């Protein structure tokens, strides 16, 4: 038996068999010159690779017809047509003869060129084809380079997934029904994979450095996502203790759920709003189950992260509508796509040296006005079905906000011209998650209907510590005096202009800091749905007077260590463990 402790990233306890998944990176494409007399051999290699790829896609297509949607099956049908497209093959042969470069490079070069051309087309159908081309060429490349891939979507047994790192797109598309727990070398509590694990209620421990070297396939694991403990091949006593912990965890959740219909109101009558963060439309049901008073953050970018698919206007419209209808009159804040960073759109964004400081969120949207307006139109059209709000991610200054508002106005007039109805007076807010936005919150408040503070990024950018990198995880302290001063500035700036200050970063769902956030004047808290009852319990047990005193003391503190011990001590004193 071995024990490890990592970052507790998604609560819950799981027992199960390890599945160690070591994902290969997409390989470097070899590039070398060939002689004229090698052209035929290279060509024959390609034809063989195409035959193998066709066989593989046929199997996938049959499976899609049986087990998935018609839409999925149609994608594979389109891939088959491309693989067998003689014009495309001729183009490759001409380039092979002309440039005398190896076949892998030739295929890669042409596909990339065609995909880029299609991607810049205003026609959504062409853009969709660009993703297909990249997919098909990747499959051919795998065959040429003899790479076999296992997709997490193919998991067919219950496992505890052990990985070095997991991109949010992979987490989104894995067969979640069979992933009972997640253990990872990389990552931290605010990495997007952790956020997804919480959304899917999968217990997760992250940031374990080299746990993939310590665990073998088939090892029995206990994963405690609340304490961060991972036990490999536990003995009987540990197993018995784990069974007890699982029962206690269930009971605690049931007790907390009893608070579902009670208001989040302090002892002296201050009402806060507790909302849910969601990543996929289906989570809206769960939000209601935990008593959310709206969706404070719908991370719409997850619609764009399924490989081989682009989310066109209709698909987006249906997704937004689904959430709005599920939530009825309750407000739903749709954040426009925050792609980039660890949520790269591989076909559109390419490689960046420093993606977290690069083409992310509103920057990417403003650079792709057609894509952005497609999203805005989809949101506007859906807005007749519920109480919609729009929010822009990673605003760094007033210019970006104004530019986004101009495009929103253009999307409105496009809807009018096309005869689409939409709700008037949709509130539009800015996420405050970049230090420059926090410093100019008073200016941004002039142009915003509300603020939502993204502490995950605000902490990352204030402390200059990558939120997904376990080596600098210790620096990502949301109670650092620098962050607390920013929070106070943002909330005060909002209130001075008479707008609401919400928070949708993970800090909003941490019950230990709830009294501090109340004391700073926060109006709305948006979090993983399952955290709502715990935060509500705290709010219902404190008075604003006490919270203000606590916030003042925290703001006077000179170190995060002091603030952390202040808030935990305060909580233990006011909410002694039963």
In the complex, minimum distance from the CB of residue 191 to ligand PEP, in angstroms, rounded to a whole number: 9
Site for Mg ion contains 279 (CB under 5 A)? no
How many other CB atoms are there within 10 angstroms of residue 20's CB atom?
A: 20
Rule CB under 5 A: say whether 8 interacts with Mg ion.
Answer: no
Number of residues that bind Mg ion (CB under 5 A): 3
The site partner of 504 among Mg ion, ligand PEP, none (C-beta below 5 to 8 Å per kind) is ligand PEP
Cβ at position 458, least distance to ligand PEP in Å: 7
Shorter beta-carbon distance to Mg ion: residue 194 or 215: 194
Binding to Mg ion in span 546-565, by CB under 5 A: none
Residue 431 or residue 542: which is nearer to ligand PEP going by CB?
431
Q: Which is nearer to Mg ion, 347 or 457 (CB)?
A: 457
Rounded Cα gap, residues 101 and 123, in angstroms:
33
d(CA 335, CA 321): 14
Q: Rounding to the nearest 10 degrees, give the CA dihedral for residues 565, 571, 573, 576.
A: -130
Cβ atoms of residues 337 and 300 within 8 Å: yes
From the list Mg ion, ligand PEP, none, pick the one residue 400 interacts with, judged by a Cβ distance below 5 to 8 Å according to partner type: none
State the minimum distance, in angstroms, from the CB of residue 376 to ligand PEP. 19
What is the rounded CA–CA span in Å between residue 59 and residue 57? 5
Q: What residues have CB less than 8 Å from 344, skipping those under 6 apart? A: 167, 355
Sheet containing strand 159-163, strands side by side:
2-5, 229-232, 220-224, 13-21, 159-163, 179-184, 204-206, 7-10
Token couple for 400:
């970006």
The encoded tokens of residue 73 equal 């099956």
Q: Which stretch binds Mg ion (CB under 5 A): 116-124, 430-438, 544-552, 553-561?
A: 430-438
> Which two structure tokens, joined as six digits, stand for 532?
């709502």
Q: Is 498 helix (H, G, I), strand (E, B) or coil?
A: coil
Q: What's phi and psi for 554, nearest 5 deg?
A: -65, -40
478 binding Mg ion? (CB under 5 A): no
Kindly tell me which of 293 and 457 has the beta carbon lying closer to ligand PEP.
457
Q: Which does 505 bind (CB under 5 to 8 A by kind): Mg ion, ligand PEP, none?
A: ligand PEP
- 444 in helix, strand or coil? helix
Q: Choose from Mg ion, ligand PEP, none: what does 299 bind? Cβ within 5-8 Å by kind.
A: ligand PEP
Q: Which is nearer to ligand PEP, 38 or 469 (CB)?
A: 469
CA–CA separation, 335 vs 288, rounded Å? 19
Contact assessment for residue 13 and residue 233, using Cβ atoms and an 8 Å cutoff? no
Residues 71-130 contacting Mg ion, CB under 5 A: none
CB crowding 130-143: b at 16 or more within 10 Å, else e: bbbbbbbbbbbbbb
Residue 177 CB contacts under 8 Å (≥ 6 apart), including other chains: none
433 binds Mg ion (CB under 5 A): yes
At its nearest, how many Å lie between ligand PEP and the CB of residue 463? 13
Residue 342: name its binding partner from Mg ion, ligand PEP, none (Cβ under 5 to 8 Å by kind): none
Question: Quick one: what does residue 455 bind among Mg ion, ligand PEP, none, with the CB cut-off 5 to 8 Å set by partner type?
Answer: ligand PEP
- Closest separation in Å from C-beta 456 to Mg ion: 5
Question: Closest distance between Mg ion and the C-beta of residue 469, in Å?
Answer: 16
Q: What is the largest CA-CA distance in the chain?
A: 87
Q: Which of residues 446-475 bind Mg ion (CB under 5 A)?
A: 454, 457
The catalytic residue positions are: 192, 504
DSSP class per residue in 86-145: HHHHHHHHHHHHHH-B-HHHHHHHHHHHHHHHHHT-S-HHHHHHHHHHHHHHHHHHHHHT
In terms of CB distance, is 454 or 533 closer to ligand PEP?
Answer: 454
Q: What is the smallest separation between the CB atom of 477 and ligand PEP, expressed in angstroms? A: 14
Alpha-carbon distance of 491 to 483, in angstroms, equals: 12
Q: Is 342 in the site for Mg ion (CB under 5 A)?
A: no
**Closer residue to ligand PEP (CB): 299 or 368:** 299
Residues within the interface to ligand PEP (CB under 6 A): 297, 299, 338, 433, 454-457, 504-505
Rule CB under 5 A: which residues touch Mg ion?
433, 454, 457
């Amino acid at each position: 038996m071995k024990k490890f402790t990592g970052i507790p990233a998604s609560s819950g306890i799981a027992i199960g068999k390890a599945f160690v998944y070591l994902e290969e990176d997409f390989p470097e494409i070899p590039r070398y010159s060939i002689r004229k007399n090698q052209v035929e051999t290279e060509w024959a290699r390609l034809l063989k690779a195409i035959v193998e790829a066709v066989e593989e896609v046929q199997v996938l297509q049959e499976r899609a017809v049986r087990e998935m949607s018609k839409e999925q099956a149609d994608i594979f049908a389109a891939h088959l047509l491309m693989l067998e497209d003689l014009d495309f093959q001729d183009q490759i042969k001409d380039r092979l003869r002309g440039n005398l470069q190896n076949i892998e490079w030739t295929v890669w070069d042409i596909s990339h060129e065609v995909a880029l051309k299609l991607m810049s087309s205003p026609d959504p159908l062409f853009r969709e084809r660009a993703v297909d081309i990249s997919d098909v060429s990747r499959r051919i490349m795998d065959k040429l380079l003899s790479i076999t891939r296992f997709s997490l979507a193919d998991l067919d047994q219950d496992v505890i997934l052990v990985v070095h790192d997991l991109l949010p797109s992979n987490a989104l598309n894995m067969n979640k029904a069979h992933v009972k727990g997640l253990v990872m070398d990389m990552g931290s509590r605010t990495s997007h994979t952790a956020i997804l694990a919480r959304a899917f209620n999968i217990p997760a421990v992250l940031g374990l450095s080299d746990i993939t070297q310590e665990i073998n396939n088939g090892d029995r694991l206990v994963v405690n996502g609340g304490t961060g403990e991972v036990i490999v091949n536990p003995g009987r006593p540990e197993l018995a203790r784990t069974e007890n912990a699982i029962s206690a965890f269930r009971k605690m959740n049931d007790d907390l759920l009893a608070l579902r219909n009670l208001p989040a109101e302090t002892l002296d009558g201050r009402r806060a709003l507790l909302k849910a963060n969601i990543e996929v439309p289906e989570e809206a049901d769960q939000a209601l189950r935990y008593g959310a008073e709206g969706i404070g953050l719908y991370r719409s970018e997850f619609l764009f992260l399924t490989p081989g698919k682009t989310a066109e206007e209709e698909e987006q419209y249906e997704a937004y509508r689904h959430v709005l209808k599920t939530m009825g009159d309750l407000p739903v804040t749709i954040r426009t796509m925050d792609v980039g960073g660890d949520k790269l759109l591989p076909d559109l964004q390419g490689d960046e040296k420093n993606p977290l400081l690069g083409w992310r969120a509103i920057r990417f949207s403003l650079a792709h006005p057609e894509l952005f307006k497609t999203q805005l139109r989809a949101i506007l059209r859906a807005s007749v079905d519920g109480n919609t709000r729009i929010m822009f991610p990673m605003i760094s200054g007033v210019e970006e906000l104004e530019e986004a508002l101009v495009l929103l106005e253009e999307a409105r007039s496009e809807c009018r011209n096309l005869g689409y109805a939409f709700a008037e007076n949709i509130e539009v807010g800015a996420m405050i998650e970049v230090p420059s936005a926090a410093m100019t919150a008073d200016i941004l408040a002039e142009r915003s209907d509300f603020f939502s503070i993204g502490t995950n990024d605000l902490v990352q950018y204030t402390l200059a510590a990558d939120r997904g990198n376990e080596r600098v995880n210790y620096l990502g302290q949301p109670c650092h005096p620098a962050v607390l001063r920013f929070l106070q500035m943002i909330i005060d700036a909002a209130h001075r202009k008479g707008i609401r200050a919400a928070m949708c970063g993970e800090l909003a769902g941490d019950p230990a800091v709830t009294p501090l956030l109340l004391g700073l004047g926060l109006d709305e808290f948006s979090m993983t749905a399952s955290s709502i009852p715990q935060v509500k319990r705290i709010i219902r047990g404190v008075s604003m007077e006490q919270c203000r005193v606590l916030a003042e003391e925290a703001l006077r503190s000179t170190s995060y260590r002091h603030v952390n011990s202040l808030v935990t001590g305060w909580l233990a004193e006011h909410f002694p463990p039963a």
